[in-house]
Structure 1
């Protein structure tokens, strides 16, 4: 059964409810394994990102969001402080397969970038892999530009990692 925007109630809200963080980790692990054959190494990476956020994020400069469709979690994104002053990182964008095509990915990225601007960041970076073509199209639509890429073997696969940058 496919969903449509007209038939669905869509809400994008902050990560603030019990179960949100666990869902982010679980959904990434399950979906990326099903779609790309990625191992639990990827789920562990997402778990570290989520754990670091939960343990030490500054709400003025870092945030996470959950997209819900008809009251069920269907997507997520995080904005965290980067390694350099004035630079944010867009992290762990995900839209569940059943909710794709509803514009959730773009809504989540828009929310993240609006927050980054309001928090005073000058740039947003992100790391992804070239097999994630739908996400890459969203990033390009917002003006991100590819800075560099490098082949690597991670998550049980041969991949091509990419670093992207957006000047705000």
Structure 2
């Protein structure tokens, strides 16, 4: 909803224009996930897909945050269609990196981090957005909060580039479970 308030303040968007953008993004995302993702995943792998999704996310945020005309948010919606790559690639990389015994813990940890971020981000971004939309902003960049979000995504892209996805290694906790099992049966 922050995007809506920003677009309304910057370009006078109404809810119908925002719904047009959301419709374009929704239909495009469905097509991308159903047709494009299964085709490119075997060719390039999850790490490349994650990096492509993060790059598209950065471009989407920068184009919206620095929009110079009312047509720019419509054009940036094409990048948002590719952003849907981030979530499945992230879960695939984490799933592949954790052992079969720790799948639930790993996926639950990611879901917990996403939930905490969904809770905390409006607490930071809403005041920042309202400050830069107002007349008391320190400089004229109504989409500054969105640009700040793109900087955070740039940091996550740097970490994504450092990932080395591969086969799950046998962790020490798995070997400890094997050792503790006979001890429990003896007592």
Question: When the two structures are superposed, what TM-score results if normalisation uses the length of structure 2?
Answer: 0.26
- Answer 1 or 2: higher relative contact order, Cα 8 Å, separation at least 6: 2
* Higher Cα Rg, which structure: 2
- Greater fraction helix: 2
- Greater fraction strand: 1
